[in-house]
A and B are shown apart, each in its own frame.
Chain A
């Protein structure tokens, strides 16, 4: 069970764009092995940074509109949102400590 919030085109504005704290968004799919590789890291980070960082997951198969809106054509792609704006976008799987660096300066 994932610790991140399942993001959809319906809840994206409320959960991400209007979030009072930074949000780490993971674009992924079932069939993507590197996505499954970083899945446990994303879950760990959601627990470790609870209250300071929100973690959301976008399944690109179910949410083609969101994937298209952010031009996602490589997964996993990690994005960091702050005050409704994209502050970082990183394609490719990363070790946990490297993912932490993506948002550390935004907390």
Chain B
């Protein structure tokens, strides 16, 4: 069985950060990714809040840079799915689509997937007007009306992007104000092409072949309105990807992995970093620093395991 010091599952911001720090700590490091390195960061139209990069960069370019840096420090990158991670004595066995791999320590950096709204018609019209990716599907609705559901950073950023393409964006949020960072929210509120409806929920998506309308309900007045629209973009949070984990790993109520400030999970030698972890703030920069801490503490764990701890 192929064997590494450190195996990192997921090559998004957290995983690539861990790979770079792991490799630079002289660990034999492998990062495994099932889709494409960069993860959710790939979908960022303009990354403008990463400290030290004042000129906005697109997520693809940024991801390439991160990968190059990790590989230059000596990390190996593998493209495969990970079915399971289990402890076998003192080591871990990572089952990939291309066979098992042994590791002394593992960092889970599998990230999160978009949460669905659960509205009637959402599944039926997925890919036919219901979308979770503004940069992918926005251009199909150029000059038309679009609805955006959500009130966090993603919803506000994506509404801004879509406002450049749409005739008009109607933004629907169930609370009376945005959860997004203030500067991001302020931009949306002052955008003349975005109409914001607070304390409003989307109950149903209607259409024949594709989306034609959405049923909106005001939570305060109870008033129901059917709003014609060509597209509904949903940005209502994310679900941590924990399918491959050993079941004994502690998680919080939302399913995120609980760690301490060393990114250690409840299983010794198993670390978590980025959006999969229970954390108050999910940003590219926080994911990267999670990854750095996880790799650093994994190196210390391996030293202790081998009786070489620096005391």
Residues in B whose Cβ lies below 8 Å from that of A71: 128, 209-210
Q: Is B195 located at the chain interface by the 8 A CB criterion?
A: no
Stretch at the interface among A12-20, A29-37, A46-54: A29-37
Note all chain B residues with C-beta closer than 8 A to A97.
34, 81, 97
Residues of chain B whose beta carbon lies under 8 Å from any beta carbon of chain A: 34-36, 38, 42-43, 59-60, 79-81, 97, 126-129, 131, 133, 135-137, 139-141, 209-210, 231
18 A-B pairs with CB atoms under 8 Å apart are: A31-B139, A32-B135, A32-B136, A34-B42, A34-B43, A34-B136, A35-B136, A36-B42, A40-B79, A73-B127, A73-B210, A74-B140, A76-B136, A77-B127, A92-B126, A95-B35, A96-B79, A97-B81
Q: Distance (Å) between the CB of A43 and the closest chain B CB?
A: 12
In the complex, what residues of A have CB within 8 A of residue B43's CB?
A: 33-34
**Other-chain contact of B42, A37, A74, A77, A91 (Cβ < 8 Å):** A37
Of chain A, the residue at the smallest CB distance from B139 is: A31
Which chain B residues lie closer than 8 Å to A32 at the CB level?
Answer: 135-136
Chain A's interface size range is 20 to 34
In the complex formed, the residue of A with least CB distance to B130 is A74
Q: Quick check: B129 and A34 within 8 Å, CB to CB?
A: no
CA distance A36 to B126 in the complex (A): 20
Contacts of A102 in B (CB 8 A): none
- Tell me the minimal C-beta distance from B77 to chain A in angstroms: 12
A38, B35: Cβ atoms under 8 Å?
yes
When the two chains form the complex, which single residue of B79, B127, B135, B231 contacts A91, counting CB atoms closer than 8 Å? Answer: B127
Q: Please give 14 more A-B residue pairs, beta carbons under 8 A apart, in addition to A73-B140, A74-B128, A96-B81.
A: A32-B136, A33-B136, A35-B136, A36-B42, A73-B128, A73-B141, A74-B127, A74-B131, A74-B140, A92-B126, A95-B35, A95-B81, A96-B80, A97-B97
A33 and B64 CA atoms in complex are apart in Å by: 13
Say how far A98's CB is from chain B's closest CB, in angstroms.
8
Residues of B within 8 A of A31 (CB): 135, 139
Whether the Cβ atoms of A96 and B140 lie closer than 8 Å is no
A86 to chain B, nearest CB (A): 14
**Residues of chain B within 8 A of A34, CB atoms compared:** 42-43, 133, 136
Residue A75, interface by CB 8 Å: yes
**A37 contacts B97, C-beta separation under 8 Å:** no
Q: Which residues of A contact B210 (CB under 8 A)?
A: 71, 73
Q: Is A93 an interface residue (CB 8 A)?
A: yes
Residues of chain A lying within 8 A (CB to CB) of residue B38: 37
Q: Which 3 A/B pairs are nearest by Cβ-Cβ distance?
A: A91-B127, A37-B36, A74-B127
Pick from A76, A89, A97 the residue with the most CB of B within 10 Å: A97
In the complex, what residue of chain B is closest to A74 when comparing beta carbons? B127
CA separation between A25 and B139, bound complex, in Å?
Answer: 21
A residues near B127, Cβ cutoff 8 Å: 73-74, 77, 89-92
CB proximity of A52 to chain B, nearest CB, Å: 19
- Inter-chain CA distance A71–B140, complex, in Å, is 11
Are the CB atoms of B136 and A40 closer together than 8 Å?
no
Closest chain-A Cβ to B38's Cβ sits at a distance in Å of 8
